[in-house]
Amino acid sequence: MVILVGANNILHLQFNIGLIYALVASLFYAVYIMITKGILQKITTVTFMFYNMLGASAFLLIICGYQHTELLHFPTATWLNLLGMGIVCQLAGWITINYAINHMEATRVSIALLSQTVIAGIWAAFFLHETLELKEIAGSIIVLAGIAVTFLKKKTQVIKV
C-alpha cells in the first residue's frame, strides 16, 4: 500500500477518489468471495450464476431507469461488443471464478486472482501498445512470485526407523 500510494500521501491522508473506489471495490470483492463460498456449498455454480446475474440485472435496470439511461438504441457494432463482453468477460469469467471458489479454499482463490492485474498489464502492452515501466514489470514479477509461494506445498519429511 505504501509503495502503491506513496508514504507522503499516507502520512498526510491524501487519497484520490480513484484509490478510495479501488479500496471499497476490494472490500466488496472480498465479501463476494466469502458469501459465494458459503452459497456454493448449497447450490450449483450455474444456478448461483443465474440468480446472481438476474439480481444484478434487475438492480442495474432500476438504476438505469432512475437515471433515464438509454438502453436500446445502439449501433450493431456496439451490441456485438456488449454481447462478446457479456459472454466472455462476465459469464465465462465469473463462472470460472465461481467454479474455482467451489473447488478451492477462498483464500487461495483470492490470492490467485491477484494475477488479474498482471495479465491485464501484459494484455494492455500487447493489444493496446501501452508501455510497461520497469517498476510495473518488477511488481508483476513480485505478484506472480507471491502467488507461486502460497501454492507451494510443504514437503513432509518421512523419518525412517
| pLDDT tens track for 134-144 | 888 998 999 99
Question: What would the mean pLDDT of 102-122 be, rounded to a whole number?
Answer: 90
Amino acid letter, residue 112: A
- pLDDT, residue 158, reads 60
Q: How many CA atoms lie within 13 A of 104 on its CB side?
A: 16
Q: Which helix (H) or strand (E) is 137 found in, with range?
A: helix 134-151
| Cα(75)–Cα(82) distance, integer angstroms | 11
In the structure grid, which three cell numbers stand for residue 69, read together? Answer: 439511461
**pTM of the predicted model over 0.75:** no
- pLDDT, residue 20, reads 81
Q: Is residue 13 over pLDDT 80?
A: no
Task: Answer yes or no: are the C-beta atoms of 106 and 97 closer than 8 Å.
Answer: no
What residue spans define the domains of the chain?
77-102, 104-160
Q: Is residue 40 over pLDDT 80?
A: yes
Amino acid letter, residue 101: I
Average pLDDT across the chain, whole number: 87
Name residue, grid cell 479501488. Answer: 22
How many percent of the chain have pLDDT more than 70?
Answer: 86
